[in-house]
Amino acid sequence: MPLSFEPMYCDKQQIEGCTLYLGDCLKVIPTLGKVDCVVTDPPYGIKEARGRNASRGNLAVARDYGRESWDDQTIPEAIPLIMGCSTTQVIFGGNYYHLPPTKCWLIWDKENGDNDFADAEMAWTNLDKAVRLKRYMWNGMLRANRELRGDHPTQKPIGVMQWVISHTEGDLILDPFMGSGTTGVACINMNRKFIGIEKERKYFDVACERIDAAARQGKLF
């Protein structure tokens, strides 16, 4: 009787210096070997993906992302894999995970105005630096650089991710919770190599499209 084999991923795409996996990061990371840096935004376990990401103030824009369960709980078992595969780690939502004490948090001030969204998001790092802060508006008509929000409820701005990456060293960056691919787009823009892993097909497809578009745009200049 033949042995059954469960693949580590369902799809794999190569785009310029980027390798994108459709699969579970808990299965894919052990197959990758060492990377220079992990920059990621794992689930916070606060159910942000369930239902309407509502407008809750005069600058925010309401949008219905549907009902999804991927943010219902944290994924603590990913943390040892992230630590083990990389030299440097930057983990958004680190305040929702049990991580070692650190001297350097990268803090994104969203300049949200009067609403009940979080005023800032905090990225835990193992960098040997002081705390750093970036102000970058992301809600409403006054978004920095007129950057458009995409199809993911917790999508980060490209400008913020480029700022984060600028604090890291090394050529190869991994995002095991790739979402709609913003970290990959930032890597393309900054001439870094990128590995992304995403579990949800619809977000994987969006990430592939966005990263491919960024790569094509880069060839024009």
What 3-state DSSP class applies to 63?
Answer: strand
Six token digits for residue 41: 């935004």
Kindly provide the residue ranges of all beta strands, DSSP E only, lying in 2-79, ordered along the sequence.
Answer: 11-15, 18-22, 35-40, 50-53, 63-67
Note the Cα 172 to chain centre separation in Å. Answer: 15
Nearest Cα residue to 96 out of 35, 53, 167, 42 = 42
Q: Of 21-25, 27-31, 142-146, 178-182, which gets the smallest average pLDDT?
A: 142-146
Confidence of residue 45 (pLDDT cuts 50, 70, 90): confident
CATH 2.70.98.20 given to domain 11-219: no
Q: How far apart are the C-alpha atoms of 64 and 67, rounded to whole Å? A: 9
Q: Of residues 196 and 59, which shows the higher confidence score?
A: 196
155 pLDDT tier (thresholds 50, 70, 90): confident
Q: Which percentage of the chain shows pLDDT scores above 90?
A: 67
> What pLDDT, on a 0 to 100 scale, did the predictor assign at position 145?
56
Q: Where are the domains of the chain?
A: 11-219
Most distant pair of Cα atoms in the chain: their distance: 64
Whether residue 152 is predicted with pLDDT greater than 80 in this model: the reply is: no
Q: Are 172 and 195 in contact (CB under 8 A)?
A: yes
Average pLDDT over the chain, rounded to an integer: 85
